[in-house]
Amino acid sequence: MSSLRKARDCRTSRTTFLYKYTGLTFAFNWKGAAIATAVMAFPLLVRSVRLSIENIDQGLEFAARTLGAGQMRVFFTITLPLMIPGIITGLILAFARSLEEFGATITFVSNIPGQTWPRKNAALDIFFRRGGFFPICR
């Protein structure tokens, strides 16, 4: 058996394993588009949340602990309210990045007419069927 055939069989066995045991398929499906978009947007969210956590004054948390507040109360009354601007910023950046990642998403999901055929591509499809920019040259 050639190495190319082994690689193809291995890829097929992984895909069928995922589908067989979970019932999920990501290629040529909206679920794959959502995962591709989330993977590209997640680092922006993580970075802004991490920076907001690092900028919280530890003295405020320490003062609350010395006054008798428990860990959960300190988190919900001091840490979380100070993190909210960073969380909101991260969500906005992640959403903007996910909108921008349309190219990666359409590459992963592909263009199957009737299933994953975006309306934006319909205009391009009609345009190119009629000859494109130079119909006389054909």
**Rg of the chain in Å (alpha carbons):** 24
Residue at token pair 């601007």: 85
What pLDDT sits at residue 17?
73
Output 43 or 31, whichever has higher pLDDT: 43
Give the structural domain span for 73.
3-121
What pLDDT sits at residue 36?
78
- Domain membership flag for residue 136: no
pLDDT (mean) for 130-137: 51
- Domain membership flag for residue 130: no
Helical residues (DSSP H) of the chain, grouped into ranges = 3-22, 30-54, 58-66, 71-74, 80-100, 102-109, 119-129
Output 77 or 32, whichever has higher pLDDT: 77
- Domain membership flag for residue 128: no
SS3 assignment, position 126: helix
pLDDT (mean) for 40-44: 89
- Domain membership flag for residue 77: yes
Per-residue model confidence as pLDDT tens digits over 65-118: 999 999 999 999 999 999 999 999 999 999 888 887 766 666 656 555 555 555
- Domain membership flag for residue 127: no
| Amino acid at site 97 | R
What pLDDT sits at residue 99?
80
What pLDDT sits at residue 4?
44
Gap between the Cα atoms of 90 and 30, Å rounded? 24
- Domain membership flag for residue 131: no
Helix axes 80-100, 30-54, angle to 10 degrees: 140
Query: Do 49 and 91 meet the contact criterion of CB atoms below 8 Å apart?
Result: no
- Checking if the pLDDT of 13 tops 70, the result is no
The domain that holds 31 is classified in CATH as 1.10.3720.10
- Checking if the pLDDT of 63 tops 80, the result is yes
Average pLDDT, the chain: 76
- Domain membership flag for residue 138: no
Domain total for the chain?
A: 1
